[in-house]
Amino acid sequence: MAAPRYREGGLMADQTIVSPRPDPTADCTWRAMKAFGYVTVAILIVVGLCAWLGQWYYLDPSFTKGNGLQPRFLEALAYGLERTLIILVVSVVVGYLMAIPIGLVQVIGPWPLKWLAVGFCTFIRGTPLLVQLWLLYYGVGSLFPLVPGLRHSFIWPLLQDGFNYALVAFILSFAGYEAEIMRGGFLGVPRGELEAARAVGMSPFTLLRRVWLPRALMLVLPTLSGEVVSQLKSTPLAATVTVMDLYGVAAMIKADMFRTYEPLLLVAAIYGILTAIIATGFRFVENLVPQKRG
């Protein structure tokens, strides 16, 4: 009979300890992270120097131009920031409320509404937002004056304001993109959870409200943060239809004071702060949502 094997320190006597194989990508990853950090610091230093060397005298509330007028650029920037935030918040909230039924109907039908929703998402995602905005403002907006009696109605001031066209365009754009994401979220919910909800006697509406929709929202929540940031970065397009948003005010300052870099640097800094706030807020919400581990 073969001699029995015995343990020494918890290991079989004839076993050898094999050291783990080093990860060949670890060193490259660390070097890439260091290079990215150096580049980021260098960019921040250059931007800081440009801001320090720039001329900001025209932002002083007491600044007076040669003709004796006070342009009040700080007030204009605050007004532009307010318009930008209104466009962002309203388009995200209303657009997402539209995206939920548009995404759901692509999953459950009926087929006429399904193909209508597919066509809407395809058009929105297949055409630039600038083209959609101009189609509304310069296209549809040019047809309203041809309607008899519309000029003397109470809605005529609303139809003349480019802000309303921009708001509609941004709402439809966000709804089209998020509807496709919600479609993937609805399809990503495990079928077993839905069958279990039906087995306990839930009605279709109760199942959607208590199981299907919350689970789909949890699945798409990490993607929503990037979509909101992208929506924020698209808001400067509103300036092309006479909307004095944040970028529109910066363009006005640039044309009025013949200063190019300072207004753009200021606007870039404000957009960067807003982006950081959005990312931090979504990260906080994601940490509150229980996640399935492993």
Beta-carbon contacts of 81 under 8 Å, excluding residues fewer than 6 positions away, are 246, 270
CATH superfamily, domain 60-288, is MetI-like (1.10.3720.10)
The domain ranges of the chain are 60-288
Contact in structure between 179 and 117 (CB atoms under 8 Å): yes
Q: 174: pLDDT confidence band, cut at 50, 70 and 90?
A: very high
| Separation between Cα atoms, residue 177 and residue 126, nearest integer Å | 10
Does pLDDT of 252 surpass 70?
yes
Does pLDDT of 34 surpass 90?
no
Give the pLDDT confidence score for residue 204 in this predicted structure.
85
| 263-269 average pLDDT score | 89
Contact in structure between 103 and 181 (CB atoms under 8 Å): yes
| Separation between Cα atoms, residue 190 and residue 213, nearest integer Å | 12
| Separation between Cα atoms, residue 68 and residue 63, nearest integer Å | 9
Q: 245: pLDDT confidence band, cut at 50, 70 and 90?
A: very high
Give the three-state DSSP class for 7.
strand
Q: 27: pLDDT confidence band, cut at 50, 70 and 90?
A: low
Give the three-state DSSP class for 71.
coil
Give the three-state DSSP class for 8.
strand
What CA dihedral angle connects 272, 273, 276 and 280, to 10 degrees? Answer: -170
pLDDT tens-digit series, residues 196-224: 888 888 888 888 888 899 999 988 988 89
| Separation between Cα atoms, residue 121 and residue 101, nearest integer Å | 12
Give the pLDDT confidence score for residue 271 in this predicted structure.
94
Does pLDDT of 294 surpass 50?
no
Share of the chain above pLDDT 90, in %: 42
Q: 18: pLDDT confidence band, cut at 50, 70 and 90?
A: low
Count of C-beta atoms within a 10 Å radius of residue 65: 11
User: What is the three-state SS of 270-281?
Assistant: HHHHHHHHHHHH
∠ at Cα 104 (101, 110), nearest 5°? 100
Tokens linked to 279: 């990312």
136 sits in which H/E element = none
| Separation between Cα atoms, residue 10 and residue 17, nearest integer Å | 12
